[in-house]
A and B are shown apart, each in its own frame.
Chain A
Amino acid sequence: MDVLGRILLVEDDPKDVDLTLAALGEYNLANEVFVVHDGAEALDYLHARGNYRSRAKENPAVLLLDLKLPKVDGLEVLRTIRSEERLKLIPVVVLTSSREERDMVASYKLGVNAYVVKPVDFHEFVNAIKELGVFWAVINEPPPGSVGKRG
């Protein structure tokens, strides 16, 4: 597994993965995305351990993080990232179904860079994902140690 992507998508629902990739595909960002399906796998990937022992030790330019995840939930992943020297600069965007204030407050307290509620309306969803992808993977200059832009 040597695939390097600028966007790490942590999402357990295959349909959400499908739709997110479809939205990012409109800006040709789909192949920048690497998908993991739970919090534990996300941490393995970031730490380059377990199944990801052999990947290059660069950080993704942005992490799109669902909150409700199997094994280790999104807030836990966020807390771990922010507490580790090597990971704490990674921009993290929470991408969730939850409009609950306590999730939002908890995320911001842990130092999230953005909090996006997935719109029910597909057009809005596509727009939101596209804008997110473009901003964080293309417009934004990622912190040192991140995966570089291709070509």
Chain B
Amino acid sequence: MNRAASLPRTLLPYGLALLSVAAATGLALASELAGFDKLDVPLLLLAVAATIWYGGRGPGLVAIVAGILCIDYFFTRPRFTFYIYWADIGYFAVFVAFALLIAYFTGQRRRVEHELRRTRDELDARHANLLDVTHDAVFVRDLDNVITYWNRGAEEILGWTAAQAVGKRAHDLLRTSFPRPLEEIRAELLRTGRWDGELVKTRMDGTQLVVASRWSLQRDAAGRPLAILETHNDITERKAREDDIRRLNVQLEQRSLELEASNKELEAFAYSVSHDLRAPLRHVSAYAELLQKAASSVLDERSRRFVANIVDSARKMGALIDDLLAFSRIGRAETRMTRVSLAELASEVVREMERETDARDIAWTMGPLPDVHGDRSMLKLALANLVANAVKFTRPRPRAEIEIGHTTGANGELVVFVRDNGVGFDMKYVNKLFGVFQRLHTVEAFEGTGIGLATVQRIVARHGGRVWAEGAVDQGATFYFSVPKP
């Protein structure tokens, strides 16, 4: 069936060859009657050219042969016979040469054109493939909103296949909701040729998605709008994450406001403790002392002890309040970070301790100490607390040995230590050492408020370092803290 239909189509060019040669011959004869001579060769060459152009090489050859026969029969002497004079051979040769030349050039031309067409087709196919490869949803709709192209990304993201989508009206199919009136968007698109924005669309399964959408207007050669290319990037998850971040930010802001408020409260509290709690305490202490002085002669031994206890307790509470305030101040104060010479700091601390250490035999060992980056007064307070502890807990030793030095920590950080040969502590309780009001010794044995090491820890923490301790009962103790290098 197919073959039967295609047979006349393949024969058609040969028909064209004969027809054109016949027409050229007819025209040449007619022109001869009208008085125009020698038009046979140019007209037949035209026929050959037309045949080759439209019919290809085979029909071209047929046209050449037919042309030669026509010339022989109609136009060379003796006319209307196929007889050829030897002298007319050149005439035929010229015709054949020209005809072959035309055939050659036309053939070349056709081949080039064919190549070009094939390359273009390949490119088109590749473009279509490229559009299918992208993850974005790409489709084209005409100015009536009817979808004319639909890539694989669109199928994956939106659900409909190309076959289902092409021919539908885009905004109805996708139930797009626009951030602005569609007329405005359209106007901008027509004016600038492009538009982009975020749109909410609905998938085939009814779920919604947010897309970053880019539209570009295609125009024809005359500049008339032809179609609109839409590319869509699914940003549903990104939007969700952005919403999360925004919500978290709001929460964080809230949290930091609360924190600020509670910090202010804490500060007000500390201030009020500083002012109002100390005053009555001072009065208790003062009047107890005045009573002790004024009434000691009339009081019995027991009552005098009571009064002495009042005085003693008031003094302790004063010390506690002062330590607590200092402790809370470390949390509240701004750190002033500079380069600090630890060696200088350590010798200052030891010198200021002299009043308590004068009467004792203490062997100080001070290794070379580096410079660190930190708040000088805070670091001094930390070091002073550690040294005061070492001095205090070596009291039972006839000869105390206290060493201040430094090493390098596991992570390359600078570690400062204070080591003593004092009463030490049980490693079982090492976790309790740095808590506020935590004490491992009775007040009778070693005085203190239990805030010193908590203060050290807080200072070191504010410097981004950590504190730890090693010790054993009666074997001395070593306290370490890490600090940033300058």
Measured CB to CB, the residues of A under 8 A from B are: 13, 15-16, 19, 22, 67-68, 96-101, 118-123, 125
Contact = CB atoms under 8 A, between A and B. Distances in A.
Contacts of A97: 274-276, 278-279, 282
Interface of B: 270-271, 274-276, 278-279, 281-283, 285-290, 311, 314-315, 317-319, 321-322, 325, 329, 333
A15 B281 CA distance: 11
Nearest to A23: B286
A15 B289 CA distance: 14
A98 B279 CA distance: 9
A123 B278 contact: no
Interface of B is mostly: helix
A120 to B, nearest CB: 3
Nearest to A19: B286
Contacts of B286: 15, 19, 122, 125
B296 to A, nearest CB: 15
A117 B278 CA distance: 11
Nearest to A68: B275
A100 to B, nearest CB: 5
Contacts of A125: 282, 286
Contacts of A67: 275
Ranked nearest first, the 3 interchain pairs of A and B with the lowest CB-CB distance are A120-B318, A122-B289, A122-B286
A100 B285 CA distance: 21
Contacts of B314: 120
A122 B293 CA distance: 12
A99 B274 contact: yes
A68 B278 CA distance: 13
A120 B323 CA distance: 13
B282 A99 contact: no
Contacts of A16: 279, 282-283
Nearest to A67: B275
Contacts of B281: 120
A61 to B, nearest CB: 26
Nearest to A96: B275
Contacts of B274: 97-100
Given A22-B290, A99-B322, A99-B325, A120 B285 contact: yes
Given A98-B275, A99-B274, A100-B274, A120 B289 contact: no
A121 B315 contact: yes
A97 B317 CA distance: 14
A15 B283 contact: yes
Contact of B282 (A68, A100, A101, A120): A120
A126 B333 CA distance: 32
10 contacts: A16-B282, A68-B276, A97-B282, A98-B271, A99-B325, A100-B271, A118-B278, A120-B281, A121-B285, A122-B286
| Residue from A67, A97, A99, A122 whose CB has the most chain B CB atoms within 10 Å | A122
A76 B432 CA distance: 46
Contacts of A13: 279
A27 to B, nearest CB: 17
A68 B281 CA distance: 16
A122 B290 contact: yes
A20 to B, nearest CB: 10
B93 to A, nearest CB: 120
Contacts of B283: 15-16, 19
B271 A123 contact: no
Contacts of B287: 15
Given A68-B276, A98-B275, A99-B325, 7 more contacts: A15-B283, A15-B287, A19-B283, A98-B271, A101-B329, A119-B282, A121-B285
Contacts of B329: 101
A123 B289 contact: yes
A129 to B, nearest CB: 11
Contacts of B325: 99
A14 B271 CA distance: 22
Contacts of B290: 22, 122
